[in-house]
Structure 1
Amino acid sequence: MSRERGDEVGDAKAVRRHPAGIDGRTVKPSLLVLALALLMSVVLPVINSVTPYRHPVRSGEIAELAGGLTLVPTAGWDLGTGALAGHTRTPVGDTSSTELVDGGVDFEVQAAPFSGTPSALLRRVQKISAELDHLRGSGSAAQVYAVRTRQGVVGVGQDFVGVNRQGSVVAFVFAPRGQRPGEGVEIVVAGPKGPISRVRDDVVAMVRSVRVT
């Protein structure tokens, strides 16, 4: 499941416009969100109990989320998929996936071109997630709240609680180098209640560290 450090994930696809402000290149990311939800709901709880991650992030290392976007992982978390700055063989594209893991907690980031607002992006995630509630065991979601990065970019977030796992979904829309459409970033954090509580400060710090370079 884990990849060698420096692997690149994702390439930009041809542009095709769709209604509701969604770029054609977000179709594949939509499927990735669906796969991600299935992965978190069914597969990861089992795999994480038997699969050791052996790519711990060191202090000062930076994850490249997409072209012009980075995140600072908390030292000690394992890089499951994605790329670290200075370790990539080729530039990271504008459609990519990054996974960080700490014990039973998964921190997943999906990045792809998106021309709408953070709220519109969150609604897209919610719609897909709602169809998977039966997999999480009648999960419930809290109110939507504002999330601000250290760079001052404002996004939206929502917490969810299931039978075995709980976590948060956060959505931002950035404009690296003034590009249009912007870059949509979806962050999904999930894990058992105990481990989630233990790494809450790490999660907040990583979410707030997302920035345009």
Structure 2
Amino acid sequence: MNTNQGQGVPVTQIHAATHKHRVPPEHRVLGLDRRTFPPALFVVAVFIIMIFVIPRVDAAIDLEDPVLAGEQLAISDRIVFTPATGWNVEDGFRVTDDGRRHGDATISDSGVSFEISTDTFDGTPDALLDQVEKVTSRTDDPTFRVDGNRTTLTTLTGETGVAQPYGSVNGDGVVAAFVLDGTGLKIAAYGPPAQMTAANDAIQTMIASIRTVEGNNS
């Protein structure tokens, strides 16, 4: 008679089965199989590249659109200005041969933003600036506060406008207004105080470059 029948697997065989698949000591680090590290690290690296690196590269490429020397932006079909060379075009249309695209413009450099927007307006630059300041303080930026006296601006072609410094949570700035042939221009430049001081000459030059053309951005 077989006395082992029904008595199960011997204890020595159970121990052997338990240790059969254990990782050899020379391949263990903190109890983990270090042979699995390279594949795991590869997966982590791919994850980081896909989630963090590629989107940042794409964003940087999409946002880089520097102004080249001599380029102009079309604010309307009859109003253009010359942005500072090297500033980045965030929004706006360059003057092209077909002359069909135009609209509000935003350019920036070193933390300073320069914006021009237009609308129909039949009053004076002073009246337009009053309206801009009132609307801005009530809607766009409740912290907007004028901070200084108004000054007169004159473009290179003799167009006259007004400007006034202001302060807000977005930084120091200056807001200006022109009225050209029934079109009101609101101009705003803002940024941290130190950067605004450094960009002062560029801002004045861009404002002075505003001019009207014959049509179709010629």
TM-score class, shorter-chain normalisation, is 0.5 to 0.7
Is 1:161 aligned to residue 167 of structure 2? Answer: yes
RMSD: 2.0
Residue 115, structure 1, aligned to residue 122, structure 2: yes
Cα gap change, 1:111 to 1:140, in 2 (>3 Å): closer
TM-score normalised by L of structure 2: 0.65
Give the equivalent residue in structure 2 for 1:194: 194
Residue of structure 2 equivalent to 1:126? 133
Shift of 1:62: 0.7
Q: Which secondary structure does the structure 2 equivalent of 1:90 belong to?
A: coil
C-alpha displacement of 1:128: 1.3
Q: What corresponds to 2:95 in structure 1?
A: 85
Aligned residue type for 1:90: R
Decide which structure has the larger Cα Rg and report it.
2
* Alignment CA distance shift 1:65-1:130 (3 Å): same
Paired residue type of 1:108:
E
What is the alpha-carbon distance in structure 2 between the residues aligned to residue 103 and residue 91 of structure 1?
Answer: 27
Which of 88, 92, 97 aligns to 2:104? It is: 97
Distance 2:81 2:189 in 1: 15
AA of the residue aligned to 2:118 = A
CA contact 2:170–2:190 (8 Å) conserved in 1:
no
One-letter amino acid of the structure 1 residue matched with residue 66 of structure 2: P
Does the CA contact (< 8 Å) of 1:139 and 1:163 recur in 2? Answer: no
One-letter amino acid of the counterpart of residue 189, structure 1: A
Q: Post-superposition shift, 1:91? A: 3.7
**Could you tell me which residue of structure 2 aligns to residue 212 of structure 1?**
212
User: Whose RCO is larger (CA < 8 A, sep 6+)?
Assistant: 1
Alpha-carbon distance in 2 for matches of 1:87, 1:105: 30
8 Å contact kept, 2:173–2:191: yes
Deviating 4+ runs (over 6 angstroms): none
Distance 1:69 1:134 in 2: 27
8 Å contact kept, 1:72–1:210: yes
Distance 2:128 2:98 in 1: 28
1:87 shift after superposition: 7.1
- Cα deviation for residue 141 of structure 1 reads 2.0
TM-score (ref. length: structure 1)? 0.66
The number of aligned residues is 153
| In structure 1, C-alpha distance between the alignment counterparts of 2:133 and 2:142, rounded to whole Å | 14
Residues 143-192 of structure 1: CA deviation (Å, up to 9, x unaligned): 111111111111111101235500100000012xxxxxx11111010101
1:162-181 residue pairs with structure 2 within 5 A? 162-163=168-169, 165-175=171-181
Partner Cα separation in structure 2 for residue 68 and residue 129 of structure 1 = 26
- Give aligned-pair identity as a percent: 29
Verify: 1:151 aligned to 2:149, yes or no.
no
